[in-house]
Amino acid sequence: MNRKFIKNSNLVLRKILNSEKCKDIIADFIETFLKIQISTLKINQNPDNSKSYGIVDVRVITKENKEFNVGIQIIDGNYIQSKMLLYYAKIHSNQVLYKDGRRLAKTITINILDMSFFSSTNFHKIIKLKTNAINDNILEEVHMHVIELPKFIIDEDKKLTKEEAWGIYLKGDNKKLVRKAIKKYENIRKLDDLLKDYWREEKI
pLDDT, one tens digit per residue, over 80-103 is: 999 999 999 999 988 887 766 678
Residue 177 maps to a domain: no
Residue 181 maps to a domain: no
Residue 56's pLDDT is: 92
Residue 178 maps to a domain: no
**Residue 5 pLDDT more than 90?**
no
| Total domains, the chain | 1
Residue 180 maps to a domain: no
Residue 190 maps to a domain: no
Q: pTM of the full predicted structure?
A: 0.88
pLDDT tens digits, one per residue of 8-29: 678 889 999 999 999 999 999 9
Of residues 105 and 37, more confidence is placed in: 37
Among 38-42, 154-158, 170-174, the minimum mean pLDDT is found in 154-158
pLDDT tens digits, one per residue of 25-44: 999 999 999 999 999 999 98
Sheet holding 124-128, edge to edge: 38-43, 56-62, 67-75, 106-113, 143-148, 124-128
Residue 44 maps to a domain: yes
Residue 41 forms beta bridges with which residues? Answer: 60
Question: In a 10 Å sphere around its CB, with 0-12 CB exposed, 13-18 middle and 19+ buried, how is residue 93 labelled?
Answer: exposed
Mean pLDDT throughout 129-133? Answer: 69
The parent domain of residue 82 ranges over 3-153
Residue 17 maps to a domain: yes
Residue 69 maps to a domain: yes
